[in-house]
Structure 1
Amino acid sequence: MTTAHSPAAPPLSAPLLSATGLNVTFPGRRGAPPARAVDGVDLDIGAGEIVALVGESGCGKTTLARALLGLVPPTEGQVTFAGEPLAYRSRALKAYRKRVQLVLQDPSGSLNPRHTVYDAVAEGLRIHGYPGDEREAVAEALSRAGLRPPERFFLRYPHELSGGQRQRVVIAGALVLKPELIVADEPVASLDASVRGEILALLLSLRDELGLSALVVTHDLGLAWNIADRVAVMYLGRIVEMGPVEQVLTAPQHPYTRALLSVLPESGEEPVVLTGEPPDPSHIPGGCRFHARCQVLASGEAERAGVAERCRTAALPILTGVDTAQVACHWAGV
């Protein structure tokens, strides 16, 4: 593998956004135990840094992203932005969401089919009572998103655009408020392969030109390799491996990360087939939460290393949001 972006951001000193001890628990249905969708997460995102949050569907990454956006209040823990704790009052959240914007996975579902491109991008300005020249701000955002000349798109409707153009309109709608950070949830999952690279290149150029930070939520480690400075691998509500993208993806330590990487065509590895589905977040197993699906444990390798019993019974520490590679795995440290 070779990286397709500029060198990683320098080590974090004062994170732009930080989550500490974050938990999000949903009530159980019909007397079932509560579901711990996010179960003790520490994560930092620095200014001008792109962090990829990676994991299977159902691992909690979208719930974590929503908690960082203030859309889901955490059950425990704290989110801070620019050193200030996030307050969950409506006025405070409105101001926060001007600085932290969401880019959704499906541009077709994100855009109102009855609204023109101009109105879609101007919506945020109108919500926040933008005092400047609205037309100029919309044109600048569309241009930044790669839709040029912007005036040519003002009166067009979503159905008149390609998938890549619709995603650029969604990105322009986020950029128009001049945020400091965007949270992109599977930003290219619904796009053709030929367009995916263009959108990823756009996100990188926004980082380089505007100093924009981003949390990119994805199930695709290949995408993380091409766009991120750091990667956090999430499993069953908790980050199990985290660090600089080159370090984590060229020398993965956690068996789960290795399994996710093995299915990439360019990995050259025999694909690791994980058995079964991730456990129910209302019944998180003791010990390492991955042990029931772990190929290292199943093969007897953990037994030979003398850590099999710990894998099944001993809790692992929460990884903190620093820039060095870390792993929550009994076997990896042997």
Structure 2
Amino acid sequence: MNEQLLAARGLHVEYGLPGGRTAQAVCGVDIDVAPGEIVALAGESGCGKTTLARTLLGLERPTKGTVTMAGRPLGATNRELREFRRRAQLVLQDPTGALNPRHTVYEAIAEGLRIHGLHDNEHERVAQALAHVGLRPPERYLLSYPHELSGGQRQRVVIAGCLVLDPEIIIADEPVASLDASVRGEVLALLMRLRDDFGLGALVVTHDLGLAWSIADRIAVMYLGRIVEQGPVEQILTAPQHPYTSALVSVLPNSPVGEPQVLVGEAPDATRIPGGCRFSPRCPVLASGAADTAGIGAACRTIDLPILTRTDDDVAKVACHYAHATVHS
């Protein structure tokens, strides 16, 4: 896909900490979402997924790099950000926390229209948004309060609040993590239907590769602030090239990579990024001696890998010295 809806290039996000330390939450990321495409952003907790998502929405200011919407750089003025946020909407993990308990469903959904000055046909737009997310008939829910709804219904109301503004892309941060297993499938099916019916692009932040496999067209796997592997979801999850991705895939039911792989230790602190490959302190390939046997052990420990960029042919790409060595050997 040549037409990119939302894109980031060379994105860095750093935070100053006491003692003169700097936390590198996002350390050089290229990522994009095309119209009608669902991209999963996956990785363990603390890897920078949510910070990246917030930066793509203009909620965090990048230290370096650019974010563009339909080829235009993300503006910095309140007017420019307001217009951008009408086109790009956020779905939060906890629908209960996202809804004001004092507001009815109607008020919750209409709030976005009022913020953006879209007063025409307000009641009709709210009712249509509810119908689009499967809450029918809409009149049954308009005067309900969040505590009167189930978890799945609350998440649908949150999504309706996004749809009422006719966005072009949705960024969903762990959209089903707080829901019962019985309703997760319904909400995921809803996101896929919205993609098919309205051509919405979506970036779904998740730690669950099973979820990514179910709904995504492409996946970007993130580790310690950097995307280490990205490409078509089926290609990545059936034949992962990066040892980190392989370890994540190994714990899925009926995993294609064999026995579950347990990574040693915790992810390093974002204030102390390791030299060379940032996964090297936990890499089972390096620990087993396979990287040294292949002649690239020193590179793994000392040479950083370039930022992964998406190619037009949509071939999977990986930031791993060993994977590159074995492909070209």
Q: TM-score range by the shorter chain?
A: over 0.9
Alignment of structure 1 residues 150-189 onto 2, 5 Å: 150-189=138-177
SS across alignment from 1:97:
helix
**Aligned equivalents of 1:304, 1:189: Cα separation in 2:** 42
Alignment of structure 1 residues 1-334 onto 2, 5 Å: 12-31=1-20, 33-267=21-255, 269-322=258-311, 323-333=314-324, 334=326
**Aligned equivalents of 1:44, 1:185: Cα separation in 2:** 16
In the superposition, the TM-score normalised over structure 1's length comes to 0.95
**Aligned equivalents of 2:100, 2:175: Cα separation in 1:** 18
SS across alignment from 1:48:
coil
Contact 1:79 1:85 in 2 (8 A): yes
Q: How many residues align?
A: 322
SS across alignment from 1:266:
coil
Overall identity of the aligned pairs, in %? 69
Deviation digits for residues 101-159 of structure 1 (CA, Å, limit 9, x no counterpart): 00000001111111111111111011011131111000000111111111100111111
Instruction: List alignment gaps of at least 5 residues for structure 1.
Output: 1-11
Deviation digits for residues 260-282 of structure 1 (CA, Å, limit 9, x no counterpart): 11111231632111111111111
Shift of residue 314, structure 1, vs aligned partner: 1.0
Shift of residue 29, structure 1, vs aligned partner: 2.1
**Aligned equivalents of 2:170, 2:116: Cα separation in 1:** 17
SS across alignment from 2:276:
coil
What code does the residue aligned with 1:130 have? L
Shift of residue 43, structure 1, vs aligned partner: 0.8
**Aligned equivalents of 1:193, 1:266: Cα separation in 2:** 19
SS across alignment from 2:130:
helix
**Aligned equivalents of 2:106, 2:53: Cα separation in 1:** 28
Contact 1:73 1:88 in 2 (8 A): no
Where does residue 6 of structure 1 map in the other structure?
A: none
Contact 1:69 1:100 in 2 (8 A): yes
Shift of residue 321, structure 1, vs aligned partner: 2.7
Deviation digits for residues 162-219 of structure 1 (CA, Å, limit 9, x no counterpart): 1100100010011110000000000001111111111110000000000000000000
Instruction: List alignment gaps of at least 5 residues for structure 2.
Output: none
**Aligned equivalents of 1:121, 1:159: Cα separation in 2:** 16
Shift of residue 304, structure 1, vs aligned partner: 1.9
In the superposition, the TM-score normalised over structure 2's length comes to 0.96
Measured on the aligned residues, the alpha-carbon RMSD in Å equals 0.9
**Aligned equivalents of 2:184, 2:18: Cα separation in 1:** 39
Misfit runs of 4+, over 6 Å: none
**Aligned equivalents of 1:225, 1:184: Cα separation in 2:** 16
**Aligned equivalents of 1:29, 1:172: Cα separation in 2:** 41
